[in-house]
Chains A and B, each alone.
Chain A
Amino acid sequence: GENVEQHPSTLSVQEGDSAVIKCTYSDSASNYFPWYKQELGKGPQLIIDIRSNVGEKKDQRIAVTLNKTAKHFSLHITETQPEDSAVYFCAATPNSNSGYALNFGKGTSLLVTP
């Protein structure tokens, strides 16, 4: 099965700096890679996703890059703000069938200090 590894487990940055979270996956069949933000006591919220036919996607301060050859993808948050503080999860799955569950990384606890 798919094994998703995520690093770092904790990340502390100063407001305005950039934050980068990296994930690797093992199953070459995986071709859908979402990122979720989870605030305390809440369910995960999708913040950005990327499919295997593109190498990079950007949405305002958030960007994701994908290297299928190396089987790794990364989340980049620029100009971080205190409200970006949360736990971030990467995931991977084959998207050919909606019956496939997401395989999650272990999460990164991001703290943005003012």
Chain B
Amino acid sequence: GAVVSQHPSRVICKSGTSVKIECRSLDFQATTMFWYRQFPKQSLMLMATSNEGSKATYEQGVEKDKFLINHASLTLSTLTVTSAHPEDSSFYICSARDFKNTEAFFGQGTRLTVV
């Protein structure tokens, strides 16, 4: 089946630094990818919808200048957390839907810890 690969799986960074998370669709073209954030024991909250070749669409309350999204190709989207703070510590998960199929595939997630 289709696979979405997300890296890194874990990252620890210092406050004020930036962290980039990559999301790749390995065997299908994903014109649209989605970025979610999940706090402990909570559901997945959509942060933004990433469209190949155009600007991402951010959900209400998500700062676009803090969470930079780039979807430069049909198989790669990146999320950069800029000037990270401890409150940004969370589990970030990407997802992609094949335009031929409604099924959404998820990456393995990235555990971000800001110290």
Contact = CB atoms under 8 A, between A and B. Distances in A.
A42 to B, nearest CB: 6
A43 B102 contact: no
Interface in A29-62: 32, 34, 36, 41-46, 49, 51
A44 B103 contact: no
Given A34-B103, A107-B43, A101 B31 contact: no
Contacts of A51: 102
Contacts of B98: 98
Given A98-B97, A99-B32, A101-B49, A89 B106 contact: no
Contacts of A105: 43
B34 interface: yes
Interface of B: 4, 6, 31-32, 34, 41-44, 46, 49, 51, 91, 93, 95, 97-99, 101-109, 111
